Amino acid sequence: MNPDESLERDERAIPGTSGASAAGPSRRAVLQLLATAGVGTAVFRRALADEASKSGAITAEQIATAEWISGFTLSDEDRRRLAASLPELHEDLRKIRSISVNFDELSCLRFDPEVAAPFIREQSSRARPWLSSKDQSQPDEPVLRPEELAWLPIRTLARLLRQRQISSEELTQSCLQRLRRMDPMLNCVVTLTEDLALQQARVADQELAAGKDRGLLHGIPWGAKDLIAVSGYATTWGIPQFKDRNLPQKAAIASKLEAAGAVLVAKLSTGALAMGDQWHKGKTRNPWNTEQGSSGSSAGSASAVAAGLVPFAIGTETLGSIVSPARRCGVAGLRPSFGRISRAGCMALSWTMDKPGPLARTVDDCGLVFQAVHGADTEDPSSVDRWFQWPMHVDLSALRIGKVTDSAIQAADQAALDHLQSLGAKIIDITLPRDLHEYALTTMLEVEAACIFQKFTNEGVTEGLNVWPGIFQKARFVSAVDYLQASRIRLQLMQKMAEVFQKVDLYVGGDDLGIANLTGHPTIVVPSIMQDKQPQRRPECATLTAGLYDEATLLAVAQLIEQKADVVQYHPAIDPETMPKP
């Protein structure tokens, strides 16, 4: 049965519409009507739909019967008015639903993380007082064997390119070869962009030879999470329905990296519709333990960086999709403040929570990439221009660093605090606002995602979507009133976090994934300790969260931890010839 035909029959069966059936409404039709009208709770709607389907119409008496589980009480007059008004409301909603809307079309509502702290805009227009410019020059190093290129940071690769010890084409070929060799084991590659990569690499070599230097990313290979559109190549969003889809546009972040001279070598896996590490070709693996998934949804980005397949990659986060795979795979990952990087040309999951950001082997690499891609874009009305400069030196004596005391302290977070304390930092105990049920507030994310992908729900599309179909269906029963009420409570959460950052400038750990993603605050992941685990020792990562738009402080402090911990020297021991394949 065609879902659209079934839906049309149900709509015609609702009394008061142009094609009302004498037999009365079906239970499904009444449920849809009440849900789109935002009437009551899901339980109330089911009870009322059962009553209506028995008698053939929604009456005031049936509303009263179902009312005891609705969470509110209506007067007799209210019941009569509601019963009379629902058909007219349904006709309005039917007209709205009849208008075609593409996946990438925006909502007119815009999330603004500055609402809770109006002073942030002025404060973020300049460097924080504890920051100062830093010289990041490096000593010359001997020419390395090709396999050693895989683990070099961006600054070293950039210097080798400018000294003509390697070419961008050689570096690009090296990355392409490693991607081919390791992908059967890691399952992190959706598409190799070989033709584009070699073309961009040759242009980079020509420009550098002619003295045209676009910056430290010039000639450096990178990988894009496969929800970032790149014309000429498939953008699958991790689902089988789009495995051959070629979007005509190029995402703003890909255009900025191209302008910086970076070389795109691969589209990397994302969990289906940006959830988890399971996509239409299976599970992406953690290079430190290939029996384990790489977490998600920036699954391929984290896996490829950890395995030395690309110097850096771009991921996105809505609720953990940079932080989680970066921690699982033991790499540096920066989830910037909301609005810092344009999302134009990237798959939308939540208009109020999506945030692109870099994953790389070092904190400095993340800073270099962020410097190239941050800033306002007319195609993304939520994007903003705020001060940022990198590299920066931080005066720890002038900084207030928080230790979160109302959640368990992970070993990696404690190691980071110990490293900072040994460098002279003052640590202040703090608590985070946990009384506003932050994970209940992520219902907003689910509703926005259900709106964006309502076509799938309406057409009964479920194949390869992980657990999204159930979430989309459930979210259709959240009323507009409840969504807006959640947004008001979310503002309270933002205000309480603004108070936290009156006490400290950043904090370590805190189990704040839900809180900080809802409020738009930036977080960085940094390996801080090596742990003895099977099948091999691997890094454990700390997380640091800072005030809005203060990525420079976040990066500067994280770099001190990275240097003190010296975990970046370790690499996963992976060999496709001996390691089990997924």
Q: How many CA atoms lie within 13 A of 55 on its CB side?
A: 11
Contact 394, 382 (CB under 8 A): no
Closest CA to 512 of 485, 546, 548, 486: 546
Q: Which of 124, 297, 337, 383 is catalytic?
A: 297
Whether 382 sits among the annotated catalytic residues: the reply is no
Contact 403, 508 (CB under 8 A): yes
Give the separation between CA 498 and CA 221, rounded to whole angstroms: 38
The 3-class secondary structure across 444-505, one letter per residue, is HHHHHHHHHCHHHHHHCCCCCCCCHHHHHHHHCCCCHHHHHHHHHHHHHHHHHHHHHHHHCC
Q: How far is CA 185 from the centre of its chain?
A: 25
Q: In 3-state terms, what secondary structure has residue 226?
A: coil
Whether 85 sits among the annotated catalytic residues: the reply is no
Contact 450, 465 (CB under 8 A): no
Distances (CA, A) of 533 to 289, 408, 530, 537, 574: 9, 21, 9, 5, 15
Whether 564 sits among the annotated catalytic residues: the reply is no
Nearest-10 crossing angle of helices 168-186, 299-306? 110
The pair of structure tokens assigned to 148 is 């050693």
Contact 222, 313 (CB under 8 A): yes
Q: Which of 321, 342, 350, 383 is catalytic?
A: 321
With a CB cutoff of 8 Å and minimum separation 6, the contacts of 372 are 215, 217, 256, 257, 260, 262
Q: In 3-state terms, what secondary structure has residue 213?
A: coil
Q: How many CA atoms lie within 13 A of 558 on its CB side?
A: 35
For 508, phi then psi, to 5°, come to -110, 135
Q: Which of 225, 256, 267, 283 is catalytic?
A: 225
- Residue 215, Ramachandran bin (φ over 0: left; ψ between -120 and 50: alpha; else beta): left
Q: Which residues are annotated as catalytic?
A: 225, 297, 321
